[in-house]
Amino acid sequence: MNDVVWVDTTGMSFDNAVRHKLGRLIDVSGATADLTEGMRVALKINTAEEGYNYGLRPEFIRTVADAAAAATQTRPVVCDGLKLIDYWKQARGNIFMKLTNLQGFSSETLGGHFVINGGFSGDEGDLFPCNLSDSELGGVEVGTAVCRSDALWVLSHVTLHPLVGLNGALLNGGFDCLVGRARTRLLKSLNPYIFNGQKPPLPDLRAFQRRALESHLGVKAAVEGNIFFINYLWDVTPQPEFYPFSENPVVENKGFLASSDPVAIDSASLDIIQDEGYMQVEAVGGVDFATVLQEAEQMGIGSQKYHLKRLS
């Protein structure tokens, strides 16, 4: 059973605003314990497609980036990969940078150098093994900003997800860290956009989820296990960032979580979102995330059981 620290949204005050809460989250969760001077930390974030208007505020990332910079005395790298599908605008390096800039994400606002994970083409990466005896993929190509770093912090904007159920530590710290062509390979022609209620068949969906979880192990191998997760339960929209629009959030803002266990933090996130009968992720998103968590645990990625430490 692993620790998950949760800083909720109660007790906001002059000395307990969001940035104070995030600072305390980092302190209490021991995020910087394994960092030493000179280590290159990559912060993997979710950048939004044009039209998606619930992206995380730059300050939420900057507070975390400042903590990483203070621990390493080195400016961290803030990164995200190009969006996969050429329907919209983020599939090309220069336009990706322009759009993220328009959303207020820049090296100045984020507190770290903002780069594309996978370079201009999105395909710059190295191959790492999934370290699983019955692996379907064998290995995955992880983007260079992630795999050339000494440590990875996965900062996930928690939203519903049409293929996995929930966008969180497992997806953002796995599939989303891969180069573009590897993600295309994992999708196997599965359309990540759901139009007019048309969804992929369940067996295809399950097979993809399995591959996405395998890729998480590949990413972990790429950074030699130096990986930490922060989940932002803030503006939890039905669509993830790669959609060119967003509907209203499905729950009120619940705060921020941190853990070194991706399964534990995503389990806790799911439980908090579904707490008090606000909503059932499966009912809204149409995909059963609990099954994904079970499979992740079976694959040894982490534990569904967690010890929640709640702070105000």
Q: Select the span of 3-11, 117-125, 169-177, 208-216 touching another protein (CB under 8 A).
A: 117-125
Give the residue with the Cβ less far from another protein, 62 or 161: 62
SS3 (DSSP) at 37: coil
Calpha distance 1→164 (Å, rounded): 23
Calpha distance 122→129 (Å, rounded): 20
Q: From the list 144, 237, 246, 267, which residue makes contact with another protein (rule: CB under 8 A)? A: 144
- Phi/psi region, residue 128 (left: phi>0; alpha: psi -120 to 50; beta: rest), is beta
The reply on whether position 148 binds another protein by CB under 8 A is: yes
Calpha distance 269→308 (Å, rounded): 11
Q: Could you tell me if 260 and 228 are in contact, meaning their C-beta atoms sit under 8 angstroms apart?
A: yes
The reply on whether position 81 binds another protein by CB under 8 A is: no
Give the residue with the Cβ less far from another protein, 20 or 75: 75
- Going from the C-alpha of 258 to that of each of 32, 60, 229, 309, the distances in angstroms are 12, 13, 6, 10
Q: Select the span of 119-127, 202-210, 232-240, 258-266 touching another protein (CB under 8 A).
A: 119-127
The reply on whether position 104 binds another protein by CB under 8 A is: no
Calpha distance 235→159 (Å, rounded): 8
Looking at residues 288 to 307 of the shown chain, list those that interact with another protein (rule: CB under 8 A): none
Q: From the list 41, 77, 217, 273, which residue makes contact with another protein (rule: CB under 8 A)? A: 77
Residues facing 232 on adjacent strands: 157, 256
Q: Select the span of 49-57, 130-138, 141-149, 253-261 touching another protein (CB under 8 A).
A: 141-149
The reply on whether position 116 binds another protein by CB under 8 A is: yes
- Phi/psi region, residue 75 (left: phi>0; alpha: psi -120 to 50; beta: rest), is beta
Question: 99-131 as b/e, with b when 16 or more CB fall inside 10 Å?
Answer: bbeebebeeebbbbebbbbbbeebbbbeebebe
Give the residue with the Cβ less far from another protein, 69 or 194: 69
- Report, in Å, the least distance between residue 183 CB and another protein: 16
Q: From the list 32, 47, 90, 117, which residue makes contact with another protein (rule: CB under 8 A)? A: 117
- Report, in Å, the least distance between residue 182 CB and another protein: 14
Calpha distance 88→102 (Å, rounded): 15
Give the residue with the Cβ less far from another protein, 81 or 302: 81
- Report, in Å, the least distance between residue 20 CB and another protein: 29
The reply on whether position 280 binds another protein by CB under 8 A is: no
Q: Select the span of 60-68, 115-123, 216-224, 269-277 touching another protein (CB under 8 A).
A: 115-123
Residues facing 307 on adjacent strands: 3
Q: Which positions lie near another protein, rule CB under 8 A?
A: 40, 75, 77, 79, 92-95, 97-98, 101, 106-107, 113, 115-121, 123-124, 143-145, 148
